[in-house]
Amino acid sequence: MKVEAPTKVTLNQLEKGVEFKTLDAAFGPESLGILVVEGLSDEFHQLRNDVLRQLSILARLSNDELSKLENEESMWLTGWSCGKEKLADGRLDTFKGSFYVNCAFHKDVRLEGPPQNIVDKFKDHKMYTTPNVWPSKELDGLKDFEANCKRLCNLIIDVAALVASSCDSYIKANGGYSMKDNYLRLIVENSTTTKARFLHYYPPPMAESQDEVWCGEHLDHSCITGLTSAMYLEEHDGVEVPIELSPDPNAGLYIRNRHGEVVKVNIPPTCLAFQTGSALQEISRGKFKAVPHYVQASKTRNVSRNTLAVFCQPDLSDMVNDEENFAEYSTRIVGGNH
């Protein structure tokens, strides 16, 4: 197993603007395609801890309660989803459960999805236009889940906007845009189709000898994906207790680098990571490449894994290449996964 340390910057450095050589190291042709940000606020650390623990409570709800959170017309890309997506070998993915949230509230606190004019214009794109569905606040342990999720997503998007601003400067200097200035930052700050995916990877169902991939190799179709570090939880008598590190050192996030080598990447618990997605590859005309990655299961029984990915992506009408807006582009990509 090859392990590499990703490029790191502090939040303070991001606020001042990252040097091009640092962006090259993070996202360039010899990179892992990932940037790790440290020096985050105490509020972020508390919210990450609270939300990822609440995610286990959500995933343990009864089938009746979880079914109330499902939304078939969105292709299960709003609310709860488990066993709906396909793995690379064609099996339905039951290794993890996902809770999807539209982050339009970052632009306007009143929004739970795109505004009505976008909903009306893109009637065939319900994967992005269906409004959020939240678990009842009456459910034990989930009273403040919605509020915590929104606050955490907003913090991550705010940091993503700083990453985007540095990327804008780099792309413009390297002739990668025919778009308007600050295009990527405007996407991150103003999109009403950015999606958050709260992921609960169930404990492995088989014996310790299993060698299973929790999430198969894929590309994100976002511009930038914000990732929290994973929280591992050990189950005892039906209750999951957070543990600092996975008991299986091989479990976790793997990236295929620019030379085709598979590399394990560890995101420290106090940090945020940002990966480049295929929409940014399109928008930047190949200046930044999307990152192939997957998640390796733990071979230790009774250990689950919780994490959050925020896919910062364009509004449906925004162009990502000369021929496709994001609605057309994402339909082509997502349609192959279900």
Residue 210 CA neighbour count, 13 Å, CB half: 16
Neighbours of 317 (CB within 10 A): 12
Looking at residue 211, what is its pLDDT? 54
Helix axes 145-173, 20-27, angle to 10 degrees: 110
Q: What is the pTM of this model?
A: 0.93
Q: How far apart are CA 78 and CA 195, in angstroms?
A: 9
Give me the residue spans of the domains in the chain.
Answer: 7-337
pLDDT band at 212 (very low <50, low <70, confident <90, very high): low
- pLDDT of 303 over the 50 cut: yes
pLDDT 10s digits, 134-151: 999 999 999 999 999 999
CATH architecture of 7-337: Sandwich (2.60)
Using DSSP, state whether 309 is helix, strand or coil.
strand
Q: Is-contact 314 184, C-beta < 8 A? A: no
Nearest in space to 312 (alpha carbons), one of 217, 191, 133:
191
Q: Which two tokens stand for residue 266?
A: 């560890």
Place of tokens 């990327």: 167
Average pLDDT, the chain: 88
Burial 216-251 (b: 16+ CB within 10 A, else e): beebbbbbbbbbbbbbbbbbeeeebeeeeebebeeb
Spatial CA neighbour of 93 closest among 84, 104, 103? 84
CA atoms of 188 and 311, how far apart (whole Å)? 9
